[in-house]
Amino acid sequence: MQLRPILSSLTRHKLTAFLLILQVTFTCAIVCNVMFMIATRTSQMRLPSGIAENELAMIDSVDIDATENPLVRHEQDLVALRGIAGVKSAVVVDALPLNRDNWTNGITTVPDADTHVGASAYNGTPGELQTLGLHLIEGRDFQADEYIAEDVPHGYKGIDTVPVTIVTRALAEQLFPGQSALGKDIYASGTHPTRVVGVVDHMLRPALRDPATNEYAMLFPMKPDDSEVTYVMRTAPHDRERVLKEASAVLVRLNGNRILKSPQTFTQVRDSYFHRDQTMVGLLLVAGLGLLFVTALGIAGLANFWVQQRRRQIGVRRALGATRSDILRYFQTENFLIVSGGIVLGMALAFALNLTLMKFYELPRLPLYYLPIGALALWLLGQLAVLGPALRAAAVPPVVATRSV
Amino acid sequence: MSMFGYYLNLALRSLMRNKMLTALMVIAIAVGIGASMTTLTVMHLLSGDPLPGRSQHIFYPQVDPSPLPDPENTHKPWDMMDYRSATDLWSAHRADRQALIGRSALRLTAPDMNQPPLMAQVLSTTSDFFPMFAVPFQYGGSWQPQDDQQRTRVAVISSDLNIKLFGGANSVGRTLRLKDSDVRIIGVLAPWRPSPQFYDLVGGRFSNGQTADFYSKPQEVFMPFSSSLDINTDGFMAFTCWRAPDPGTSMTTSPCVSVALWVELGNAAKVADYKAFITDYATQQKALGRLTHADNTRMPSLMQWLDFNQVVPSDVRLQTWLAFAFLLICLFNTVGLLLAKFLRRSGEIGVRRALGATRGAVLTQCLVEAGLIGLIGGFGGWLLTLLGLALIRQQPVAYADLLHLDSTMFLATFVMAIVASLLAGAVPAWRASRVALGLQLKTL
């Protein structure tokens, strides 16, 4: 295939060729970044929470009567909830992964150190590990005599005396790199040591921020006594809706002096946490595909115009011995050259765009492998778009050369 | 004018000749305009002035109660003030109007209405709040300054709550039970939906761009600052605390920031005076040993405060950029297609030129054709914008119910579509007007 006649023909259509190159440039830059944003968001939405997501149902309860002892109340409530048919176990907790109820503590490995690791605290009644379905990879669960009250009314004082904790693997590796965390002491509150007795493999924090710290969490054997707590029930997936209805009725019957909020399954918690990202991914997908489609239309439209404009030349070439596939390949190569020009410029622009997005939207750096993927997609798109007009060009009979158009 | 009619006629004929190409261009413009106008309308509604005509007189004084060392002077005052500083500034009454702000959630029942209790969002404020922010009343009215002093147990309720509890009837004079106390309703607001809900807007710089909740509805109950503290001994929701409060500390002395102050200052001299007043106050409090960073006072205006909090959610800004990138690609497309269309008619243009049409006439005719495509595309874009807004209204975001296409944005849709198509048509039209006369005639 001779490139020179194609190039010299393109220089006679500088403006149109330039427009096409520019369109491919922008499409390439935007589509690369859009793909990357979709990948970033979906990978966050897919993070495993570490708990038995399909089997959990929960109800928030706000106590109104401050004079009552909340710990006694919760104990009675739990007995009643466990009595509901289909409920395998039930606990009271103060927070759950992705429920946005975040209590972050600065954790150190020596008392009163200057630098600390921020980790979310999860507190619950005995049986939390098993009810949530957390997977213990080292150590043991809490023992009955290790439980104390969280003591929220006095400024979360429980944390000043809590004896033991279970941490996530991510937090253990951050605090004690290269060694087992079991039996080591951590400090969540000044100088009081809390011993690590167990490690769970995964548990997301109530609110996510940075991929590196999303699993920095620990469990404490502290019974929640805030006026607002969450009742969590583990049950078979198909029982969840029914259990929620019965549980609401049971809780109101036991004590009407409270307000029940958001009875929901964990699936709903996850959906509502990521709803914003879900919408955004949908929008980005539509925008990305729309851009590719519009660009394909543009390429096809102009190719069509060029074919019509050059019918006579094509006829002459055919009359002089060029085969149909020569003509076909001519237009395909021409398209390949234009798209390649656009891709080269587009890659540079993609990086510039990514830098801007990093500055304003806390997006990570665009990985290099997005560029060949974007390039491949555009080459393919270009070839597809030009195929129709190129075939029509190849079908021009040599006899056209003898006619005046 | 008659020439314009002729051009319009020519343009229509030309558009009808190649329906496929015309449809492609119209769709490209409609989709590009639809996407950008949808996001632009959201931006327009979210970044607007919640108090047009008044916001320039409204200010948000701040002192820094943090006792923590700040050797490099990098600490910006927290978004609210401690109880003492805020009430001291308010009591001085140095501004034209001043209103304290504290927030809490309290259990609420309407004793005689037989409805389940609910958690009501309560705004504790002072009587100037209503005239200062031009809050509209449906029934009754606000409390008076003496009610603030005498700790009267009265309340103003939102239109929504009035509908929920009393079916929208005039409920002035009725009693609500808040936590464990009775309060008398003295006013019911007309529907009031400031966008954003500016008066208790805090923490934007810590929200990671997720600021959609700044557009939620105003509180359901408004109460005098003083009497609400009698009812709710737990105090207001704290923005933050610089150390854990000791057990049993009342909020008036707690080491937390939970009260904000808004002031209205009618002219530049008053603004300067008030700035000097807070600086003096902070210096004096430092001398008393109560404040540490006396020089760290601020007083942003309402709009500056909104900017500081970056109220428009980052997702909305990202969507707007994306939509405009989309429009740009659509325009490139239209340029290419128009170029093809005009140049294909080189023969016809050559004849018109030979018969005496000037280059300007050819240029105008081509631009009329481009503008007509823009107008039709704009109509499609308007429909797509309505569709886009309807889709966003289905989303569970706090600002969903605020979205509508006002007359400004309606006009903007068409203006933008026509301007965009004229821009896209400029280069092709110029090229068409440069068609070499003789060459074209020869090939006919």
Amino acid at B233: T
Residue with the two structure tokens 């709040």: B129
**Which A residues, 17 through 46, put their C-beta within 8 Å of a C-beta on chain B?**
19-20, 22-23, 26-27, 30, 34
Please tell me the distance in Å from A179's CA to the nearest CA on chain B: 34
**pLDDT on residue A114:** 73
Structure tokens at A254: 């036991």
Please give the Cα distance from B101 to B259 (Å, whole number). Answer: 6
Report CA-CA distances (Å) from A96 to A37, A124, A217, B3, B389: 27, 10, 11, 72, 34
Quote the CA–CA distance of A267 and A46 in Å, as a whole number: 13
Of A34, A154, A294, the CB nearest to B333: A294
- C-alpha span between A45 and A129 (Å, rounded): 23
Determine phi and psi for A2, rounding to 5 degrees.
Answer: -85, 125
Q: Among the ranges A149-158, A340-349, B322-331, which has the highest mean pLDDT value?
A: A340-349
* Residue whose entry in the numeric block shows the structure tokens 């790199």: A177
pLDDT of residue B438: 62
Q: Are B428 and B342 in contact (CB under 8 A)?
A: yes
| Contact yes or no for B328 and A290 at CB 8 A | no
Rounded distance, CA B179 to CA B109, Å?
A: 8
Are the Cβ atoms of A361 and B314 closer than 8 angstroms? yes
pLDDT per residue as tens digits for the range B269-301: 999 999 999 999 999 999 998 888 888 899 999
- Smallest CA-to-CA distance from B319 within A274, A355, A276, A273 is with A276
Interatomic CA distance for residues B257 and B262, integer angstroms: 15
Instruction: Label residue A204 exposed, middle or buried (CB < 10 Å: 0-12, 13-18, 19+).
Output: buried
The pLDDT of residue A1 is 57
For residues A251 and B31, give the distance between their C-alpha atoms in angstroms, rounded to a whole number.
52
User: ipTM of the assembly?
Assistant: 0.78
B246–chain A Cβ distance below 8 A for any pair: yes
Quickly state the pLDDT bin for A16 (edges 50, 70, 90). confident
* Average pLDDT along chain B: 90
Give the pair of three-digit tokens for residue A125.
């009644």
Instruction: Verify whether the Cβ–Cβ distance B344 to A305 is below 8 Å.
Output: yes
pLDDT at residue A65, as a whole number = 66
Alpha carbons B381 and B414: distance in angstroms, whole number: 8
Q: What is the DSSP letter of B298?
A: B
Q: Which two tokens stand for residue B252?
A: 């008036």
Interface of A with B in 133-162 (CB under 8 A): 153-157
Window from A127-141, A291-305, B245-259, B361-375 with minimum mean pLDDT:
B245-259
Report pLDDT for A66: 63
Residue A243: its pLDDT value, please? Answer: 95
Interatomic CA distance for residues B435 and B444, integer angstroms: 14
Of the pLDDT bands very low, low, confident and very high (cuts 50, 70, 90), residue B440 is low
Closest partner residue to B107 (CB to CB) among A64, A209, A305 is A64
Q: In chain A, what is the straight-line distance between the N-terminal and C-terminal CA atoms, in Å?
A: 28
B300: left (phi over 0), alpha (psi -120 to 50) or beta: beta
Distances in Å between the Cα of A151 and the Cα atoms of A22, B191, B245, B248 are 64, 42, 13, 13
Q: How confident is the model at residue A157 (pLDDT cuts 50, 70, 90)?
A: confident
- For residue B442, name the pLDDT band (cuts at 50, 70, 90): low
Contact (CB<8Å) A301/B325: no
Give the pLDDT of residue B379. Answer: 96
pLDDT given for residue A405 in this prediction: 47
Summarize pLDDT for B120-166 with one digit per residue, the tens.
Answer: 999 999 999 999 999 999 999 999 999 999 999 999 999 999 999 99
Question: A155 contacts in B (CB within 8 Å)?
Answer: 244-247
Please state, for a pLDDT cut of 70, what percent of chain A lies above it: 99
Residue B199: name the closest of B144, B129, B141, B258 by CA: B129
Among residues B382, B364, B345, which one has the least CA distance to residue B425? Answer: B364
Token representation of residue A47: 């993070």
**Cis bond before residue A48 (omega within 30° of 0):** no
Average pLDDT over residues A10-18: 81
Quote the CA–CA distance of B197 and B101 in Å, as a whole number.
13
User: Domain map of chain A by residue range?
Assistant: 4-46+274-402, 65-256
Q: Is pLDDT at B67 greater than 60 in this prediction? A: yes
Half-sphere exposure in the Cβ direction for A157 (13 Å, CA): 8
pLDDT digits (tens, 9 = 90+) for B392-416: 898 888 899 889 999 999 999 999 9
A296 touches chain B (CB under 8 A): no
Residue B263 has pLDDT above 70, yes or no: yes
What are the tens digits of pLDDT across the range A380-394? 999 999 999 999 999
- Using alpha carbons, select from A88, A77, A40 the residue that is nearest to residue A208: A40
Residue B194's pLDDT band, with cuts at 50, 70 and 90, is very high
Q: What are phi and psi of A94, to 5 degrees?
A: -100, -15
Q: Compute the count of residue pairs across chains A and B with CB atoms less than 8 Å apart.
A: 108
- Could A259 and B119 be called an inter-chain contact, meaning their C-beta atoms sit closer than 8 Å? yes
Question: Would the pLDDT of A153 be above 80?
Answer: no
In eight-state DSSP terms, residue A210 is -
What pLDDT is stored for residue A34 in this prediction? Answer: 93
Q: Give per-residue pLDDT as tens, A52-92.
A: 999 999 999 987 766 678 899 899 999 999 999 999 999 99
Report CA torsion sign: B195, B201, B204, B205.
Answer: positive
Hey, are the CB atoms on B28 and A297 less than 8 Å from each other? yes
* Mean local confidence (pLDDT), B22-26: 87
Which residues 6+ apart lie within 8 Å of A260 measured at CB?
A59, A60, A61, A62, A248, A251, A252
Q: Do A361 and B247 touch (CB under 8 A)?
A: no
